[in-house]
Structure 1
């Protein structure tokens, strides 16, 4: 039987994401419809992943760090990207 290693600290990154989303996006707006809310959160998530600097990542956005690590770890593999 394998031990369950789930601890409160396992969720720290997602909890931090939700807190940031609420304070930088949700609490600053009063959208009128669910579709407006969905579009605004989608736009913010794109900003968060591709443009927003993260101090834990040396001021780089997560997507840039992810793709740099992916390129370093798999230099011989071609990455196919869907347009």
Structure 2
């Protein structure tokens, strides 16, 4: 049997940083996703 990968838990601090970056609109969704290690679909 293969080991299952645990889901990544994002802290409230990370969520607020990503949210503020998205609201500011200075970076694209893809850039924010790469910078913070989250999928772009989670940013928008």
TM-score by length of 1: 0.23
Choose 1 or 2 for highest CA Rg: 1
Which structure carries more relative contact order (alpha carbon 8 Å, separation 6+)? 2
TM-score by length of 2: 0.37
Higher helix share: 1
